[in-house]
Amino acid sequence: MELTGLSFENYKAFAQREALELKPLTVLIGRNSSGKSAIARLPLLLARALSERAQSPVDLDIDGVDFGGSFVDLIHNRTPHGSIGLGATFENDQGERYEVWARVQHFSEFEMQVVSAFELKRTGYPALAFTWVLEDDPRVEPGRYKAQVGDGGDTFEVALSFQGLWPTYVQVGRGAVGETDPRLVQLFGELHYALVHLRPALARLGYLGPFRTPPQRQYRFPGGMPQSVGVSGAEAPALLGADLLRKGGMVVKAVGEWYRKSLGGWVLDVSRQGASFSLVLRSPDDQNVEVNLADVGTGLSQVLPLVVQRHVDALAGQSLGLEVVEQPELHLHPGAHGDLADLYIQAAQYIQFTRQPRSRFIIETHSENFILRIRRRIAEGVLDAGSVALYWVDDEPRPGSQLRRITLSPSGDVSTWPKGVFSEDFEEVRAIRAAQRGERHEEA
C-alpha cells in the first residue's frame, strides 16, 4: 500500500479544496510563502494523525518539525473558530484504493479541536461517513455523531472517540441492540481493516528539512548502524563512520566519487583518528592534502545529507517509501543542481518489468536547473514522463493560493508555464539592453 494523493482545504495558504497526485517524483515550485512547504510537510502531519502516537487530532510538533504555535496557525487567514480539511489517498499493487478525509474544528475558548467529519472510501465497499452533532459540548467524550454506511444509506447515531484523525471507539446510540448490532460490527470491522493496511504506508516516511546541521570538526564512531540521516541531516556523519568500519566503506566511496564529479574534483572522505573521525575533502591535485569539511563552503556541507541518504538507499537496494526533501539545492552552486537532480531521478525510475518505482519523493525546490535536468532526462528517454508530477503553487489568485499542474510530455516539453517563473535572467538581460540604449525598462 502506498500513499498516492493528498488533499486539503482551508489549510495554511489554501482556502479552497486542493488535491495533489503523488508520483515517484513529485516536484513543487512557486514563490516564497506561497504554500510549498505546507504541502511538502503534509505527509508528516497525516502520518502522525493516523498513528498510535497521535496526542490530538493534529499535532503541531512532529519529531522536531514545527507546524505552528497553535492550531490557528494551520487555518487559512488564522480564523479563531475555523476548521481545516485533510485527506489522503492510498493504493496497492492490485489497484485497490482507499480515500480518507477528515475535518477538524477549532474551539478557541477551550483551545481544543474536534474531528467534526470523517469519511472513508474503499474500492468495492460502501463508504463510511461520520458527522459530529454540532449542538454537543466539544469537551464531552465520546462525542455524538451521525453515521452513514453507503451513499444512500440511512443515518444512525453513534458515540465516537478519536485518536488523531481516526475513530477508535464506536458505540451505537440509544435504542440499538448493543455490541452485537450488525451496524456496529460493520463499522468496527471496516475501520480496523483499513487502519491496519494504511498505517504501514505512512510509517515508511522520511523527511529532510531545508536547514541541515553544520559539520563538526570531529565525531565519535556510533555504536550502531543508522539507516537515515534524520530530519536535519545530523546523522549523515555517523552513517558514514559506521559504513567505513563495518561495511567496507562502500557508501563513503560512492559519496566521495559524487563529490569529485559534481563539486570541482574534491573527494569527500573519512579520516580516522582512533575512536574518532573527521569528514574531510581531499584535493584533486594531491590526495594527501585534506581540508576539514567544517572549513569549506556551506554548500559542500549542506548537500552532504542528501547525497549520503541517496547512496545508502541505492547501495542497500531499499527505500523509505516516501521521502520529503525541502530545497535540496540550498547553498549549492547552480552548476551542481542538475547532478543533484540526477540522484533523485535515478532513484525514482521505474524498475523494469514490475513498473514500480525504486523510491518516491516530494521535492520542494527553487532551482530552475533542477527542473531542466528532469525535463532533459525525460527527453533522453531515461525518465518516464508519467513518473513525474510537477506543480506550480500559484499565490496570485484570491482568496488563497492554488495548485496548478504542469504536464510534462515524453519529449520533455511542458503543457503550460506560469508567466514570470524562472524568467528572471531574461528580464535582467532585457533591462541591461534597455539601459545600454538609454531607455527605461518596465518590469514585467
Is residue 415 one of the residues assigned to a domain? Answer: no
What is the average per-residue pLDDT within 127-146? 88
- Residues near 378 by beta carbon (within 8 Å), at least 6 away in sequence: 384, 385, 388, 408, 409, 410, 411, 412
Q: pTM, whole model, 2 decimals? A: 0.89
Residues 159 and 284 in one domain: no
Q: Is residue 348 part of a domain?
A: no
Q: Does 221 lie in the same domain as 193? A: no
pLDDT(92) > 90: no
The whole domain housing 105 covers 41-204
Q: Is residue 200 in some structural domain?
A: yes
Q: Residue 431 pLDDT > 80, yes or no? A: no
Mean pLDDT throughout 105-109? Answer: 93
Q: For residues 283 and 187, state if they share a domain.
A: no
Q: Are residues 67 and 151 in the same domain?
A: yes
User: Could you identify the residue written with the cell 497553535?
Assistant: 70
If one counts the domains in the chain, the total is 2
pLDDT, residue 318, reads: 67
What is the predicted pLDDT for the residue at 443?
A: 56
In the predicted model, is pLDDT for residue 365 greater than 50?
yes
Q: Quote the pLDDT of residue 355.
A: 54
- Among 105-114, 146-155, 254-263, 352-361, the range scoring the smallest mean pLDDT is 352-361
Q: Which tens digit of pLDDT belongs to each residue from 51-69?
A: 998 989 999 999 888 999 9
% residues pLDDT > 90 (the chain)? 59
Locate the DSSP E strands across 361-441.
Answer: 361-364, 388-394, 402-406
DSSP state of 14: B
> For residue 376, is it within any domain?
no
Q: Tell me how far apart the alpha carbons of residues 307 and 328 are, in angstroms, rounded to a whole number.
A: 10
pLDDT, tens digit (0-9, with 9 covering 90-100), for 253-274: 999 999 999 998 999 999 999 8
Residue 381 lies in a domain: no
DSSP 343: H
- CA proximity to 86, closest of 71, 97, 96: 71
Asked if residue 148 and residue 83 are part of one domain, the reply reads yes
Are residues 132 and 279 part of one domain? no
Q: Return the pLDDT at 152.
A: 77
Q: Which of 295, 316, 337 is the last residue of a domain?
A: 316
In a domain, 384, yes or no: no
221 and 178 assigned to the same domain: no
Q: Is residue 331 part of a domain?
A: no
Residues 126, 241 share a domain? no
> Among 113-127, 228-242, 408-422, which is the least confidently predicted range?
408-422
CA distances from 260 to 139, 216, 256, 269, 306 (A): 60, 21, 6, 11, 16
Residue 275: count of CB within 10 angstroms of its CB:
7
Same-domain pairing of 249 and 132: no
Q: Is residue 262 part of a domain?
A: yes
Q: Are 266 and 126 found together in one domain?
A: no
Same domain, 62 and 129: yes
Domain termination site, one of 185, 204, 223 = 204
Q: Each residue of 274-293: pLDDT tens digit?
A: 889 999 999 888 888 899 99
Binning pLDDT at 50, 70 and 90, where does residue 317 land? low
Residue % of the chain over a pLDDT of 70: 92
**Mean pLDDT along residues 384-388:** 93
Check whether residue 74 and residue 133 sit in a common domain.
yes
Higher-pLDDT residue of 291 and 439 is 291
Among 204, 226, 243, the domain boundary falls at 204
